[in-house]
Structure 1
């Protein structure tokens, strides 16, 4: 049974400084209060023509994998929600005949058959875009009006809380702890992207696209290949193919 309003109550307590909010708290509160099986909180930023950012927290490995797939493939409902500033509500990822993200949809069907529906909400304050809040269900179906309203209010509350942490002057030490909890795998990708920029003589967008293309071709997480680049085990040439 879901507990209505639980997400907002947790964030309200954090705003009143009665307790420090953690990204993991947000995800767990969403699972508890929004009639979903999993949640993920991701920061997104535009670097060149590329959307990049760390997943701050996820409630479970499936939620984390959904974010990883979109990061690797460069497409998906989270990136669409971030770009448009509008929620993206996918009622049936397994059966819907068409989506704007064919590679992501195919990957979910191949590797995450237990994901039925996916609902993504942008975290946006005016013109400032911070990231997304993603929720998934194991069963397909529409999100009810009551839960949708709760989710929208939760996303707004998360946005206000995050912006308060990230934009505080002087800098808020809570924000540092939020980033410390972000996935180290994304940091590895950023470092490998920088190394490829030097090796290939290309910009950040092109370097990341080539790394991502290799990951897609090998059907592997982009972070795994990034680690191999940093370890000197994988060298990409100007055709994005590995050098022997």
Structure 2
């Protein structure tokens, strides 16, 4: 999804957001330095905590600025050179040291409502997690903590998802929660990161920047994500199947998932075929 349907507009938006993120980072650093200068007194512990808070805020905005600047550069290059339109998630993947990352957003009941991926393998992996009902993003959201599994642990931790994602060529996955004040809104999943960058600390910083500076907050720009796969059509398809088979919507949703898994097709494609009456289940 481009801003006003054009990458020049998206590049300009990303640059504006990056400038604001840099400004916020600078203000937070100044506040941190000010509190640190007061930390020698009787209230030193309080001032040190405030300094740490503002330094972590500065890091968040710095990471967000770097992601936005990267996207602005790629959008500008696309305007000049053509080719496929750039995805914001491509820059997130580069920052994580891999081609394949995906963001999953969930509702208050931890149901997956949307995903945004950097490439086809990460999109397929998120489809598998949605269809099979298990996987790293779901665990990261439920536990509100980083989750990691290498090739040896994938099948042990997720008996269905593990072998299926390994068949995609994935041998290592890390997921970290997207934490907002008082809630978890989703997870960032990183597939086959480079050994030099495979750090839950780094991925958590990137997830924090995505959550608090890109998705949520006073100056957010979710439009920059592009390529967002909303699950609304899947739930619409479940409604169609529920009417056809006179079953519950939950049972119908499981049937749609099972059909997608059995056919080896993206669940969004199967759902659209059902809604368009090109595919009937049962």
TM-score where L is the length of structure 2: 0.62
Q: Output the aligned Cα RMSD.
A: 3.4
1:155 paired residue number:
207
Alignment partner of 2:162: what SS?
helix
CA distance in 2, matches of 1:197, 1:142: 48
Residue 137 of structure 2 contacts residue 175 of structure 2 at CA under 8 Å; is this kept in 1?
Answer: yes
**Alpha-carbon deviation of 1:178?**
5.6
Q: Report the alpha carbon displacement of residue 98 of structure 1 after superposing the two structures with TM.
A: 4.0
Partner SS, residue 216 of structure 2:
helix
Structure 1: tracts of 5 or more residues without a match? 237-241
Number of aligned pairs?
Answer: 209
Moved more, 79-88 or 38-47: 38-47
Shift of 1:12: 3.9
Q: Distance in 2 between matches of 1:193 and 1:179?
A: 27
Choose which of 117, 123, 134 in structure 2 pairs with 1:75.
Answer: 134
* 1:130-157 deviations in Å (ceiling 9; x for gaps): 1111111167x6965xx33222111112
Q: Distance in 1 between matches of 2:217 and 2:124?
A: 28
Larger Rg: 2
Q: How does 1:71-150 map to 2 (within 5 A)?
A: 71-90=130-149, 92-93=150-151, 95-96=152-153, 98-110=155-167, 112-113=168-169, 115-137=170-192, 147-150=199-202
Q: What's the offset of the Cα at 1:120?
A: 0.6
| Matched residue, 1:239 | none
Deviations 1:178-222 (A, max 9, x none): 6874126x3321221222333344444332122112323334332
With normalisation by structure 1, the TM-score equals 0.70
Q: Matches of 1:148 and 1:97 in 2, distance apart?
A: 17
Change (3 A) 1:159 1:181: same
| Higher helix proportion | 2
Deviation at 1:35? 2.5
**In structure 1, how many angstroms separate the alpha carbons of the residues matched to 2:136 and 2:277?**
34
Distance, in Å, in 2 between the alignment partners of 1:120 and 1:68 is 15
Q: Distance in 1 between matches of 2:108 and 2:245?
A: 21
